[in-house]
Chains A and B, each alone.
Chain A
């Protein structure tokens, strides 16, 4: 988790170079945190990899159309956040149920994935033994 600020700095600099406005910069900030938190908390949970091999790679690039593209890669358990966000039950209903539930700490895990999906053009691929999540941000914002 402590590596988040450094990666965030890289992404924010790339977003500024791409000329994205303040509103889109805030979305980049948010989507990156959600995606990184997801990898850090879950990707290597069920693997036997040594701590030094539990890495996440961030690549920042500008697409030909001027959009910012962040590519996040990890070598953990296969997980498609885009598909999960799309097939998750109605978020509001599950939040409501959660609030009504007794003092059960567990909030719906889909919240972060839902924000990723809502605020970026997200695409997932499993390439060799890596999860590759591509997050695109255009000046106009999400579709």
Chain B
């Protein structure tokens, strides 16, 4: 999995690309915790380049969301497609997490 990060106002945008599976999802957790430790508490994950996610990825997301919440931060997701969107819908993650169609919408939230 590859990450590209950029600062947008009070948000840190992480664009994730590749596969978030059993083998790679720890990388996502590590990356998010690095951001949190660097003082970034509001994360937006742009998933337009993410081709695949499994329950291991969902568990990593859940774990990161809890840690951010405990630190007074939050995490949102945008630009999901294909199997990633399907997994988010089927698992109920769309209701559990803030999910936006576009990056602009994710950045427009308060």
Contact = CB atoms under 8 A, between A and B. Distances in A.
Interface of A: 1, 4, 23, 26-27, 29-30, 33-34, 37, 91-92, 95-96, 98-99, 101-103, 105, 107, 111-112, 114-115, 118-119
Given A99-B62, A107-B62, A112 B90 contact: no
- 4 A-B pairs with least C-beta separation: A26-B83, A112-B55, A92-B92, A111-B55
A97 to B, nearest CB: 11
B72 interface: no
Given A95-B96, A98-B62, A107-B63, A37 B23 contact: no
A30 B62 contact: no
A92 B22 contact: no
B59 A4 contact: no
Given A4-B23, A96-B96, A107-B62, A118 B90 contact: yes
A77 to B, nearest CB: 20
Contact of A99 (B23, B55, B66, B83): B66
24 contacts: A4-B23, A23-B82, A26-B82, A27-B86, A29-B52, A33-B56, A37-B56, A91-B91, A92-B92, A95-B93, A95-B96, A99-B96, A102-B70, A103-B66, A103-B67, A103-B70, A105-B63, A107-B63, A111-B58, A111-B59, A111-B91, A114-B90, A115-B55, A115-B87
A103 B64 CA distance: 10
B62 A26 contact: no
Nearest to B90: A118
A37 B67 CA distance: 25
A142 to B, nearest CB: 10
Contacts of B95: 92
Nearest to B96: A95
Contacts of B55: 34, 37, 111-112, 115
Nearest to A41: B22
Given A29-B52, A95-B92, A4 B87 contact: no
B27 interface: no
Contacts of B96: 92, 95-96, 99
Interface in B49-83: 52, 54-56, 58-59, 62-63, 65-67, 69-70, 82-83
Nearest to B59: A107
Nearest to A38: B55
A26 B52 contact: yes
